[in-house]
Chain A
Amino acid sequence: MLSSSAPVFSGKHLVSVSDLTADSIQRVIDIAIQLKSSPRPTLLQNKVIASCFFEASTRTRLSFETAVQRLGGSLIGFADAGNTSMGKKGETLSDSIQMISRYADAIIMRHPQEGAARLASEISSVPVINGGDGANQHPTQTLLDLFTIYEARGSLEGVKVAFVGDLKYGRTVHSLAQALALFGAKYYFVAPDALAMPDYIQEELLEAGVQFECVDNLEDVIPLVDILYMTRVQKERFDPTEYMHIASKYVLTAAMLKNAPEHLKVLHPLPRVDEIDVSVDKTPHAFYFQQAENGVYARQALLALTLCPNLDKQLLTSREGGQA
């Protein structure tokens, strides 16, 4: 439920998970639920959104652009920096953002360097939404993960999550672990030593009072958790023999889920390679394609909240039976 009708996203940037609060996350989830069941195809009518992908992306770019179009907005932008003035003529990011923010009502951006979105937010006169800045932040992936967990459980409070695979380099697991800390979550980290959750994240979680354990065996945690969050172990980080040994320890099969709680859901930010066997796809625990679909609704919700100042109030009134 919304805790108040005052807008929290309207006209603001979303750069980092640290910009989110439990209340603002709940608003995105509430609006995403509404938009999933009742599409609002004119909510962004007459709005122009710049989709600026300085680095290639499949899911994030397509789901953002789908979200804009499902809400009736128009898109400008580029899918990689190669054909832009930055790529061709050496224009600075700062100048590019100065210019783009004079054309569009909001900027969605992905950039290969950490901190690019924060810098853009300090230059832009319109809201900047971070679609990923290097290895740093990807807050809308976190929002769609949170929406998916909420959809699977009906609540985020006290969720038990096992994070599996590459916990060192995976920004999605860092951000999700930081965000769920706002809801009293408990974590199990299942990763090879070389890909363990970084110390600085573990320190932050300890400071936030989050309970977590590092566990060796994936099957040991399956009966204990609500969410199994799988990630890809990146081949290029290991020699081939080492990769085969490590990767084989972190592959989920349907047989391993025989002791899973009925409500357990398997999530994965995708793309998967070998870490979830296709046999899992047919189990009731597989939820990663719904998760990918939810990216469109979570991003619609964020865009709508950012660009429609009265949306919180309208939806609250609508829920209470008044006129939207």
Chain B
Amino acid sequence: MSIHKLQVEAIQQGTVIDHIPAGNGLKIINRLQLLNSDVRLTVGLNLPSGEMGCKDLIKVDQWRFTQDEAAELALFAPNATINVINDYKVVDKFRMSQPEELNGLFDCPNHNCITHNEPVDTKFYVRNSGADMKLRCHYCERSFSSALFG
């Protein structure tokens, strides 16, 4: 019996989001479920990691992320790794990178922003990185800490 047993079940097709800072996995799960409430997820929280000490990991069944889809999630895990899986094998691998813009993903925290009353997608420009990351609304021009969007 192998001692290198996988701590979360392997998937045949889909995406593995690895190296998520421990604690941020739940934010990504919330986001994924908003995007697709039927998505099948396998989750590992606080897994041991040589590099990070502790990490979260999410396997997304039957959904192969594009670079753009991964960029949306980078808000919560800017340095996570995306592994695209086909027939149990990694066919593409890339790091999440911080997006320059986020379109139509979140409501503006400013309740008097016009986006709450008009048929228009929100749009935010991403400024700074890490804990200092701020999102500036294209319409009302206010800047908000990214923590407000988690």
Contact = CB atoms under 8 A, between A and B. Distances in A.
Contact of B120 (A16, A94, A135): A94
Contacts of B137: 115
B113 A115 contact: yes
Contacts of A114: 110, 112-114, 139-142
B138 to A, nearest CB: 7
B142 A119 contact: no
Contacts of A116: 114
A134 B141 CA distance: 11
B119 interface: yes
B2 interface: no
A113 B143 contact: no
A119 to B, nearest CB: 5
Contacts of B113: 113-115
Contacts of B138: 115, 118
A136 B115 CA distance: 14
A94 B119 contact: yes
Interface in A80-121: 92-94, 111-116, 118-119
Interface in A102-154: 111-116, 118-119, 133-137
A94 B117 CA distance: 10
Contact of A118 (B112, B119, B139): B139
B119 A115 contact: no
A47 to B, nearest CB: 27
Interface string A233-271: 000000000000000000000000000000000000000
Nearest to A94: B118
Nearest to B110: A114
A65 B50 CA distance: 68
Interface in B129-143: 137-143
Nearest to B144: A200
Q: Is the interface of B mostly helix, strand, loop or mixed?
A: loop
Contacts of A119: 114-115, 118, 120, 139
A3 B67 CA distance: 43
B139 A115 contact: yes
Nearest to B134: A200
Nearest to A112: B112
A111 B114 CA distance: 10
Contacts of B140: 114-115, 134, 136
Nearest to A134: B112
A142 to B, nearest CB: 14
Nearest to B120: A119
Contacts of B117: 92-93, 113
Contact of B112 (A93, A135, A200): A135
Interface in A8-24: 16, 18
A119 B115 CA distance: 9
Nearest to B116: A113
Contacts of A92: 117-119
A4 to B, nearest CB: 28
Given A119-B139, A134-B140, A136-B140, A113 B114 contact: yes
Contacts of A112: 112
Given A114-B112, A114-B113, A136 B141 contact: yes
Interface in B92-150: 108, 110, 112-115, 117-120, 137-143
Interface of A: 16, 18, 92-94, 111-116, 118-119, 133-137, 200
Given A114-B114, A114-B141, A118-B114, 16 more contacts: A94-B118, A113-B112, A113-B113, A114-B113, A114-B140, A114-B142, A115-B114, A115-B137, A115-B138, A115-B139, A116-B114, A118-B138, A119-B118, A133-B114, A134-B112, A135-B112
15 contacts: A92-B118, A92-B119, A93-B117, A94-B120, A113-B112, A113-B117, A114-B110, A114-B113, A114-B139, A115-B114, A115-B138, A116-B114, A119-B114, A119-B118, A200-B142
Report the 6 A-B pairs with minimum CB-CB distance, sorted nearest first. A115-B139, A114-B140, A115-B114, A115-B140, A113-B114, A116-B114
